[in-house]
């Protein structure tokens, strides 16, 4: 069975602080994909990143960076110099065989001015 755990239910930071959102996953599949999605108050799920299980290189995109560690089954997401517009719910998700995507419970990030 597949499972995604986001242990942090809510995080609150002050603007310009760095913040890391944790994601731990479980799967027996050797081929899988990991995702992060952002859900602002409007409700639409916005794709942020997709990473396959064979690519453990860390990735940076502007203020966003992702750390994939297969040894600890983690795929953490860091926002550098956070901004108020980063306030949203962030979901980590796991896709395994059969195109099924399993979401974590989400982390509500609030960035205060």
**Two tokens at 109?**
């990030």
DSSP 28: S
Site for other proteins in 33-52 (CB under 8 A): 35, 37, 42-47, 50
Give, in order, the Cα–Cα distances in Å from 110 to each of 41, 74, 82, 103. Answer: 11, 23, 10, 20
Nearer to other proteins, 9 or 57 (CB): 9
User: Can residue 91 be called a binding residue for other proteins (CB under 8 A)?
Assistant: yes
CB of 81 to other proteins, least distance (A): 26
Phi and psi at residue 57, in whole multiples of 5°?
A: -65, 135
CB of 45 to other proteins, least distance (A): 4
Angle value at C-alpha 15, between 42 and 41, nearest 5 degrees: 10
Q: Please choose, out of 19-27, 57-65, 71-79, 93-101, the segment that lies near other proteins by the rule CB under 8 A.
A: 93-101
Q: What does the binding site for other proteins look like in residue numbers (CB under 8 A)?
A: 35, 37, 42-47, 50, 91, 98-101, 103-106
């Amino acid at each position: 069975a597949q499972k995604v755990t986001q242990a942090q239910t809510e995080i609150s930071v002050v603007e310009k602080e760095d913040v890391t959102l944790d994601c731990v996953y479980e799967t027996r599949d050797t081929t899988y994909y990991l995702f992060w999605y952002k859900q602002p108050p409007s409700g639409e799920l916005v794709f942020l990143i997709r990473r396959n299980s064979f690519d453990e290189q860390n990735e940076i995109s502007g203020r966003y960076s992702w750390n994939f560690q297969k040894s600890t089954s983690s795929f953490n997401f860091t926002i550098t110099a956070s901004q108020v517009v980063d306030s949203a719910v962030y979901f980590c998700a796991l896709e395994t065989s059969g195109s099924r995507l399993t979401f974590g419970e989400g982390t509500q990030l609030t960035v205060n001015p």
